[in-house]
Amino acid sequence: MEAIDDGRLARGTRLPSTRAAQRVFGVSRNTLADVYDRLLNEGYVVMRRRSGTFVADKIPESPATHEPGDAPPYRLNPYWLRTDVQDAIHFWREPGADQPRAGQSPGIDLRAGQIDPRLFPIAVFRRAVSRQLRRLERMPPRNPSSQGNQGNYRLREAISRHIRITRAVVCRPDEVLVTSGAQQAFDLLARTLVTPGETTVALEDPGYPPLRAAFAAAAAKLVPVPVDQEGIRVDHLPRDVGVICVCPSHQFPLGVLMSEQRREQLVRFARAHKAVIVEDDYDGEFRHEGNPLQALRMRDCADVVFYVGTFSKCMLPSLRLGFIIAPRWALPALVTVKNYLDWHSPTPMQLGVAEFIAEGHLAQHVRKMRNIYAHRRERLHQILREDFSDCLEPVPSSYGLHICAFATGNMDANLVAASAVRQGVQLHSLERYYMAPGGRPGLIFGYGALDVSQIERGMKVLRDIIRR
């Protein structure tokens, strides 16, 4: 970008194809595709059909920022300006993302929560969207009304079939609400379930900061609850709790699977205290070890569990589609709030994903990715065993796209993570995920976005850092 900014690469210059650039620069095509994609997303280059990639004629101005001394003429809601809130909301922001520099390789992303978009069959998805838009040509969409705001019926039907197969969750399409991703589901649930200033919400600690932000924004009283090797410590739940948020399949970020006994205890507690449970099943499709425990919602507790699912992990995060399976008594209120937030999620996306699922492509993609992710996971486990057994103790888990490991010995996990980032390896220390002080330190290793050789390179950088 610097080369573009300072004019070394003239406006309108054609960039080499990733294949040609690979020969010149000697880096992988994936790395180059990442660089090109970043340039494109930020407007530094443009694609022209059948001609290639060119430096843009006009380049973007730097992003808007508060200039110091430039006092805003108006007092904004101070909640969003709080540092802790900003940190939670911009949780996935890469360090230095505000000042992208040329020459800096996109690096290796070892964070949790990432997937491998390179392997998504986007051509198949494109054709599904096209077919559905063609249908709309013959049958133009109606103006928005409250109908359809729960989500397109075909998509809700496809979702209920999909999670029956992958998660053994039995639900009817009319118990499904389509959302614009899991994040909107959290906001929607927080606004519906929390009476501001009154409701107490229990959160697993460590946990997912953007989920925490949703309940904090709704003015809930937040209570962090510790997690052990069987899941959330039900005996630590406050007695006045209204909402209990958990990830039973693959605790985020520890990776712990909630035990059968703990599940029973949790549901019993919720019922006894007239509380509800929010089950975040963000990567439940990717089960790597045979295990009879399925989603919490599978059990006979459809009356107290709000199950949140997403297509960000099993398809693509850029589609922004997710869903809630809700108790029937809560659905009218949830539909009202969804209606309020944005009427409904975009029809072409809903139709495209419905078609993609109905034609069996999602099941096929999940099967393929489960194998690929299992392979990466196996390699990562092997490296942790062989090269890091003196300083890292992996937390057992059977689902998902990341492994958490506690620090042992005298390794400083925060220092290691900070050094890694400086060397181009995106890595999160466990500390970022705790609410209460004094949490056990550790590191989180995501293998979603990386092939085996990238994992090996990233872990080698890490080993060198720790050895020093």
Question: 156 with 173: CB under 8 angstroms?
Answer: yes
The one among 276, 302, 395, 459 contacting a second copy by CB under 8 A: 276
What mask of x and - would describe binding to a second copy in positions 11 to 30, judged by CB under 8 A?
--------------------
Q: What angle do CA 315, 188, 208 make, to 5 degrees?
A: 65
Question: 277 with 246: CB under 8 angstroms?
Answer: yes
Residues 216-245 that bind a second copy (CB under 8 A): 217-219, 242
Q: Which amino acid is at 19?
A: R
The one among 25, 54, 153, 406 contacting a second copy by CB under 8 A: 153
Question: 83 with 12: CB under 8 angstroms?
Answer: no
| Closer of 65 and 410 to a second copy (Cβ) | 65
- Exposed, middle or buried: residue 214 (CB in 10 Å: 0-12, 13-18, 19+)? buried
- Reading phi first (left if > 0) and then psi (alpha if -120 to 50, else beta), residue 320 is in left
Q: Shortest approach of a second copy to residue 147 CB, angstroms? A: 5
Which residue(s) pair with 428 in the sheet?
A: 444
The one among 348, 432, 440, 451 contacting a second copy by CB under 8 A: 348
Stretch that binds a second copy, among 254-262, 321-329, 363-371, 458-466 (CB under 8 A): 321-329
The one among 298, 302, 319, 357 contacting a second copy by CB under 8 A: 319
The one among 339, 398, 408, 414 contacting a second copy by CB under 8 A: 339
Q: Which of 219, 316, 325, 337 is nearest to 277 (CA)?
A: 325
Integer angstrom CA distances of residue 327 from 278, 300, 302, 304, 330:
11, 12, 6, 7, 6
CA 254 to mean position of chain CA atoms: 15
Integer angstrom CA distances of residue 140 from 4, 119, 134, 135:
44, 33, 10, 8
How are the residues of the chain apportioned to helix, strand and coil, as percentages rounded to the nearest 5?
45, 15, 40
Residues 394-453 that bind a second copy (CB under 8 A): 449
| Closer of 24 and 123 to a second copy (Cβ) | 123
The one among 166, 200, 251, 345 contacting a second copy by CB under 8 A: 345
Q: Which of 283, 276, 252 is nearest to 434 (CA)?
A: 252
Instruction: Give the Cα separation of 301 and 272 in Å (integer).
Output: 13
The one among 104, 105, 261, 336 contacting a second copy by CB under 8 A: 336
Q: Which of 55, 54, 183, 51 is nearest to 113 (CA)?
A: 183
The one among 25, 27, 148, 236 contacting a second copy by CB under 8 A: 148
The one among 126, 375, 385, 422 contacting a second copy by CB under 8 A: 126
Q: Shortest approach of a second copy to residue 371 CB, angstroms? A: 19
The one among 331, 372, 374, 418 contacting a second copy by CB under 8 A: 331
191 touches a second copy by CB under 8 A: yes
347 touches a second copy by CB under 8 A: yes
Stretch that binds a second copy, among 152-160, 249-257, 281-289, 391-399 (CB under 8 A): 152-160
Q: Shortest approach of a second copy to residue 385 CB, angstroms? A: 27
Residues 29-88 that bind a second copy (CB under 8 A): 33-34, 36-38, 40-43, 46-47, 49, 58, 60-66, 70, 72-81, 85-86
| Closer of 211 and 407 to a second copy (Cβ) | 211
Q: What angle do CA 352, 356, 357 make, to 5 degrees?
A: 120
Q: Shortest approach of a second copy to residue 197 CB, angstroms? A: 9
272 touches a second copy by CB under 8 A: no
Integer angstrom CA distances of residue 333 from 5, 223, 285, 339, 340:
50, 25, 28, 10, 11
What mask of x and - would describe binding to a second copy in positions 351 to 370, judged by CB under 8 A?
-x------------------
Burial 77-113 (b: 16+ CB within 10 A, else e): eeeeeeeebeebbebeeeeeeeeeeeeeebbbbbbbb
Q: Shortest approach of a second copy to residue 282 CB, angstroms? A: 13
> Could you give phi then psi for residue 183, rounded to 5 degrees?
-60, -45
Q: Shortest approach of a second copy to residue 440 CB, angstroms? A: 27
Residues 278-317 that bind a second copy (CB under 8 A): 303-304, 312, 316-317
Integer angstrom CA distances of residue 29 from 20, 33, 79, 123, 339:
9, 6, 43, 19, 43
- Check residue 316 and report its DSSP letter: -
Residues 156-185 that bind a second copy (CB under 8 A): 157, 172-175, 180-181, 183-184
| Closer of 100 and 424 to a second copy (Cβ) | 100
The one among 118, 368, 385, 422 contacting a second copy by CB under 8 A: 118
Q: Shortest approach of a second copy to residue 94 CB, angstroms? A: 6
| Closer of 67 and 386 to a second copy (Cβ) | 67
Helix (H, G, I), strand (E, B) or coil at 127: helix
Instruction: Give the Cα separation of 303 and 308 in Å (integer).
Output: 15
